[in-house]
A and B are shown apart, each in its own frame.
Chain A
Amino acid sequence: MTYKPILLAIPLLATPAVADEMWISNEKDDTISVIDIETLEVVRTIEVGERPRGITFSKDYSVLYVCASDSDTVQVIDPESGEVLHELPSGEDPEQFVLHPDNRHLYIANEDDAITTVVDTETRTVVAQISVGIEPEGMAVSPDGTIAITTSETTNMAHWIDTETQELFANTLVDSRPRHAEFIKDGTELWVSAEIGGTISVFDVATQEEITKIDFAVDGVHPDRVQPVGFEMTAGDTHAFVALGPSNHVAVVNADTYEVEDYILVGRRVWHMDFNADRSLVFTTNGVSGDVTVIDVASREAIKSIKVGRFPWGAAFRPTDN
C-alpha cells in the first residue's frame, strides 16, 4: 500500500492502468460491490435500485444494466461514476436478462408476470412482451442472435423465441426449476440447469432435441441439496463451471464428454459467476455467506474469499485497460 504513491508519482504512469473489475449485485443490500481483480478487494460500493439481481454490461462496457427487481425497472449505470443514467421500462419484477448481440435489445425475464419483455435500449421502449411459463428466470440469446431462450422455474420449460417475430417456436421440458441457460459451442448446443431436478439438460439447437443430461454428486451432500444454478464456460467452451447452490460446491464439467471432473468447495449457496479477461479466474457469488469465492481455473482451487454485501446474486466482468 505504501508504495503506491511513489509509483503514481512516476510521470509515465500519470494515468495508471486501472485493474479490471468484477461487479457483484447484492440482492439484500441494494448495492453493487466492485472488486479490483488485481488486489482482489472491494474498491467501490454503488447504491442501486431495490433488490438488484441480474447485471450485465453493454458489449462495449460503456454502461451497466441492472435488474432492480423490486423497483420494477432496469437501471442503466455509468460504470465510471456509478451514477444511474436512466431507467428502462422492464415489465414487473425483472430478475434476469440477456443483451442481444446487436447490443441494443435486452431480453428480460419478468419473474412475477410469466412474461419475457424485449426492450430497445436506444429508444427505451418495450418492443415486445412474450407470454412464457410461470416464473421465467434463465435467459440466453444464440450467438447469431436468431434465438432467445427463457426458462420458467415452475413450468419447467425452456421456451424458444424467434427473435425475428418475437414469438415462441418451441417449448421443451427440462427438470424441475430451471434457472440458467447458455448457448455454447458456437450456438450449436443449449445448456439449461435445473435447480431442484439437480441436472443440466443439453439440447441440440438445430432440432431442439435433448442430447443428454448431466448429473451431479457431491460426496457427503444429499442429492437433494446438489442444485445446479448459474454456470459459465471456460475459454474455448471446453469446460463448464457450474454453481451447485446449497451444496456449496462448484462443479467442473467437461463439455465434450459431459462428465463432471471436479468439485470445488466455495461459500454458501453459490449462485452465479463470471470470469476475468483471460478466463484464468472465476468469481462466484455466495448468497448465504455474503461473499465471493475466487477460483483459479487452472488448478481448480479456491484461492480467496472476498466479503461483499448481503446476498450477492450476479457477477459481471468489466475490463478497464482498453
Chain B
Amino acid sequence: MLKHLLASAIFTALCGAAMAETLEVPLVWLRHAEPERPVLSNLDPIPEDRGRAGAELGLADNLTTGKFLGQDYSLEIIEIAAEDDPLPDARAALGRSSFVVLDAPAATLLAIADLPEAQGAVLFNASSSDMSLRGADCRANLLHTKTSFAMQTDALMQFAQAKRWTDLVMITGNAPEDADFAAALTASAIKFGLEIAQTKPWIFDADMRRNAAQEVPLFTQDLADHDLLLVADVANDFARYIAYNAWEPRPIAGSEGLRPVSWAPVVEQWGAAQLHSRFSDLASRDMTPRDYAAWAAVRAVGEAVTRTNSADPATLRAYLLSDAFELAGFKGRPLSFRSWNGQLRQPIPLVTRAALVAQAPLEGFLHQRTELDTLGIDQPETTCTAFD
C-alpha cells in the first residue's frame, strides 16, 4: 500500500513536470580486461563486445522510455587493457558520471569502489561472481547485477535435491575461479542436505579433443558411487569432454551438462524471446550472462530514474535498495536488490545447450521474504557490514 502511495506521489509529480526540462543521466561502462585463459576448444570464442553490447541495449531501452518523460541517457564506453592501470581512467570517468557499470576482475572492482571519487557514486559489478565481494569485502557503493557463484550453485543443488540425486562427486579445474565455484558447490550441497562424497582435481594437460575417450573413463573409474557428476571448470576448458566419456553413465552438471546460469539463449519464456531478439538485432550474436548483467545495471538506473524523476545518485541508490524498486528482467519475476549486500536477486535458469530444464527457485523451496532469497547468501548469514 505504502509502495502505491509513493508511486502515486511520484506519478503525480511526473505529470506536472514531465516535459518541462530534460533530465540528463550520464552512465559509463568501463571494462578492465582480464587476461584470457587458453582453452582447448575453439567453439565458444569470447565476443569482443561481451558486456558492452548489453549495456548498449540497456541504454537504447532507457532512451525509449526517457523520450516520453524528458529524460535523456548517455553511455560512455571505456576499455582498458589487462596490463594497464584502470584507476586513472576510472577517476576521470567518475568525474563525469556517478553511475558506472564495471566489467572487471574482483580486485579492480574493489580498487575502483575505494577511490575517493567513487564515494557517493553508484557502481555496478556486471562481471564477477566472486563471493567475497558480496561478503566481507562488500562495498556500500558497489551493487551486483552479476549473479554470485552461491546463487548459481544453490539453484543447482535445489534441482539435485528435488530429483533426490543425493550422492554427488566432483571434478575440479585448476584455475582460482574453479576453486571458488567448487567451494560454492560444496557449500550449497551442505545447505540443501546433500553431500559431495569425493572431489578429484583434473590433472591432464593433454589435448582432450583427441584423448577424451581414452583418458576420461580411467580418470573417472575410481569415483565413488554417485547420482550426479559435478564439474567445476568455469572456462569450460575440459568439462565438455567429460560428458559421455565417464566410467559410470550418470548425468553431469556444473560447468557442462546441466548448468546454472544467469542468462542463456534457451530462456524463451517470460518475454525473454523479445530481449534476445532486440539483442541480436544490435549485436548479431547471442546474449551472454555478462551482457545480461550489464543490461540489468543500465536498466536498473533507468527504472529508478523513471520512478523518481531524479538523477541524484543518493536518491537513486536509496530507491534501488528499497522495497519499491522492481525490474522486469524477463525471468518471470520482478528483480530487486538485496538491502544487505547490494546483490540483484533473480531467478537462476538451469539449462542445457538446447533447452531450459528448470528455473530456480524450484517449487517447494520456501522463504519468509521471497523464494528468490533461497538462492545465494541470505541476510542472517551475510558477512557484509557496509550496508548497515
Q: Which A residues lie at the B interface, using CB under 8 A? A: 111-112, 114, 133-135, 152-157, 159, 168, 171-173, 175-177, 196-197, 199, 208-210, 213, 215, 222, 224-225, 246
Contact = CB atoms under 8 A, between A and B. Distances in A.
Contacts of A213: 4, 7-8
Contacts of B327: 176
Contacts of A156: 65, 306, 328
Contacts of B69: 171, 173
B333 A224 contact: yes
Contacts of A175: 7
Contact of B61 (A134, A177, A196): A134
A246 B270 CA distance: 10
A232 to B, nearest CB: 22
Given A133-B65, A135-B274, A175-B7, 10 more contacts: A153-B271, A154-B328, A155-B64, A155-B68, A173-B69, A177-B328, A197-B326, A209-B12, A222-B370, A224-B371
Contacts of B11: 172-173, 210
A225 B65 contact: no
14 contacts: A134-B65, A153-B274, A155-B68, A156-B328, A171-B69, A172-B11, A176-B328, A196-B326, A197-B326, A213-B4, A224-B333, A224-B371, A225-B332, A225-B333
Given A209-B15, A222-B371, A246-B332, A112 B277 contact: yes
Interface string B299-317: 0000000110000000000
B33 interface: no
Interface of B: 4, 7-8, 11-12, 14-15, 18, 61, 64-65, 68-69, 271, 274, 277-278, 306-307, 326-328, 332-334, 370-372
A157 B326 contact: no
Q: Which of B11, B278, B328 has the most CB of A within 10 A?
A: B328
B65 A114 contact: no
B298 to A, nearest CB: 12
A312 to B, nearest CB: 15
Contact of B333 (A112, A114, A196): A196
B120 to A, nearest CB: 27
Contacts of B271: 135, 153, 177
List the 8 closest pairs (A to B, CB-CB), nearest first. A171-B68, A176-B328, A224-B333, A155-B65, A196-B328, A177-B328, A196-B334, A134-B64
B306 A173 contact: yes
Contacts of B371: 222, 224
Contacts of B61: 134, 154-155
B323 to A, nearest CB: 12
Given A153-B271, A222-B370, A176 B14 contact: no
B334 A157 contact: no
A133 B370 contact: no
Q: Which of A133, A134, A173, A209 has the most CB of B within 10 A?
A: A173
Contact of A210 (B8, B306, B307): B8
A157 B68 contact: yes
B52 to A, nearest CB: 20
B14 A173 contact: yes
A209 B371 CA distance: 35
A111 B274 contact: yes
A14 to B, nearest CB: 50
Contacts of A159: 68
B93 to A, nearest CB: 27
B64 A114 contact: yes
B16 to A, nearest CB: 11
Nearest to A168: B68
Nearest to B367: A222
Contacts of B12: 209
A318 B287 CA distance: 42
Contacts of A199: 4
A224 B306 contact: no
A125 B324 CA distance: 44
A214 B14 CA distance: 21
A153 B329 CA distance: 11
A154 B279 CA distance: 14
Contacts of B334: 176, 196-197, 224
Q: Which of B14, B61, B327, B371 has the most CB of A within 10 A?
A: B61
A153 B328 contact: yes
A287 B274 CA distance: 18
Nearest to B309: A173
Contacts of A112: 274, 277-278
B274 A176 contact: no
A319 to B, nearest CB: 34
Contacts of A225: 332-333
A170 B163 CA distance: 52
A157 B277 contact: no
A246 B65 CA distance: 27
A246 B7 CA distance: 25
Contacts of B372: 224
Contacts of A111: 274
B370 A157 contact: no
A101 to B, nearest CB: 26
A133 B64 contact: yes
A157 B14 CA distance: 13
Contacts of A224: 333-334, 370-372
Contacts of B7: 175, 213
A215 B5 CA distance: 13
A153 B64 CA distance: 12
A155 B66 CA distance: 9
Nearest to B336: A224
B66 to A, nearest CB: 9
Contacts of B370: 222, 224
A208 B69 CA distance: 15
Contacts of A171: 18, 68-69
A133 B332 contact: no
Contacts of B4: 199, 213, 215
Nearest to A137: B271
B145 to A, nearest CB: 17
